[in-house]
Amino acid sequence: MLHQFLNDNRAEILLRSRARVAQRLAPKPTEDELTLGIPLFLDELAAILTGKDSAEKKLDEDATRHGEVRQQMGFTVAQVVHDYGDLCQVVTQLAIESEAQIDTEEFKTLNRCLDDAIAQAVTEHARLRERSIAENEVQRLGFLAHELRNHLHTANLAFEILKSGSVGIGGSTGAVLRRSLLGLQRLVDRTLAQVRLESGLDRPERLDITNFLEEMEAAGSIEAKERGVALTVLRGNSGVAVEADRQLLGSAVSNLLQNAIKFTHANGHVHLLSTSTPDRVSIEVGDECGGLRAGQSEQFFTGEAQTKKDRSGLGLGLLISKRAVEAMGGTVQARNRPGVGCVFTIELPRLRRS
């Protein structure tokens, strides 16, 4: 009988099932995964086969929990299904090897329980995934609206003061208005870059690095001057090119440059330079923000990095920059210079001359 076979071979079934789970590349199995989900299913399946009606309800509850845990761990729906599929294969293979006498009805019960468990787990996984997506979207829209409101509010106040004629456009109020407009422009650029990344609308083209950095310098020099920061740009050798989406790479580099200018102390220095090898092109942005505390550089590019109270949006901007560069086959890294500042380096494959 199947329930007796499951009880007698429980240890071997679990051993083989765990071996299959452990062979997965990602995500790596946790101790709970190896000791809870499948073992509980086996116990409830055996109870169902012996006629305990309450076991079916318990199986559904545990399968739902199984789907919830898998979603939280980052498993796909396919991986959730494989958990139960692996168990079925192990039971069937072991039964054949042992020449166990299991009747057709019991195998039908096994398959029905597997179907029910998979359905419950997948349903819960999908429900939580949709809720997570919705919550993330609301959070992102909330951040966007908050930033837009702040910049617009400041711009409107500055405009009203300028309209009164009591101050000139070239003074500090005009500078406030310009900074607000630049903030709005950065926010729109970053949002557009994020939309293009998520929709896959990148348009790679040949970009001459010298000309590209000249564009970055034109925009960065204005903000650097307003903040009293010296900006040095070394564009590298002429004729060096990469294949990249102009808007995405522009968003990534300008975000790094703007952060460098923003967090460099007054009368400090920011550099933007490019170097190249026969295979790679590097774009480096260095600042004089004073450096980071130990371990703080590891928090960059996670979407949460903030090292000063006024660094709202820094982590999100760096995360988008990282994703943009990686979408073009490149990498971006941060290096801390203790007591001095930070250096961010973008590396991209060099485009060979045709």
Task: Name the nearest CA neighbour of 234 among 287, 278, 271.
Answer: 271
Looking at the fold, whether 210 and 75 belong to one and the same domain comes out as no
Question: Which residues contact residue 310 at a Cβ distance below 8 angstroms, ignoring those fewer than 6 apart?
Answer: none
What is the mean pLDDT of the segment spanning 162-177?
80
27 preceded by cis ω (within 30°)?
Answer: yes
Q: What's the pLDDT band for 44 if we cut at 50, 70, 90? A: low
Indicate if the pLDDT at residue 280 is higher than 90. Answer: yes
Question: Of 134, 149, 165, which marks where a domain is finished?
Answer: 134
User: By C-alpha distance, which of 80, 51, 54 is closest to 65?
Assistant: 80
Predicted pLDDT of residue 313: 43
pLDDT of residue 284 exceeding 90? yes
Residues 251 and 124 in one domain: no
pLDDT per residue as tens digits for the range 112-158: 777 766 766 677 667 777 676 666 666 666 666 767 777 787 788 78
* Distance of alpha carbon 241 from alpha carbon 209, whole angstroms: 5
> Tell me: the pLDDT tens digits for 59-92?
566 666 666 666 566 566 666 666 667 777 788 8
For residues 291 and 210, membership in a common domain is answered with yes
| Structural domain total, the chain | 2
Residue 283 to residue 116: CA distance in whole angstroms: 54
In contact, 76 and 29? CB cutoff 8 Å: no
pLDDT at 179 over 80: no
Residue 52 and residue 46: Cα distance in Å, rounded? 9
Residue 195 within any structural domain of the chain: no
Last residue of a domain, one of 134, 160, 188: 134
- Strand pairing category for 204-208 and 331-337: unpaired
334 and 224 housed in the same domain: yes
Residue 245 CA to residue 12 CA, distance in Å, equals 54
| CATH code for the domain of 319 | 3.30.565.10
In 3D space, the residue among 223, 221, 241, 240 whose CA is nearest the CA of residue 231 turns out to be 221
Range of the structural domain that residue 86 is part of: 2-134
pLDDT of 187 over the 60 cut: yes
Domain boundary among 134, 163, 191: 134
Confirm if 222 and 180 have CB atoms less than 8 A apart: no
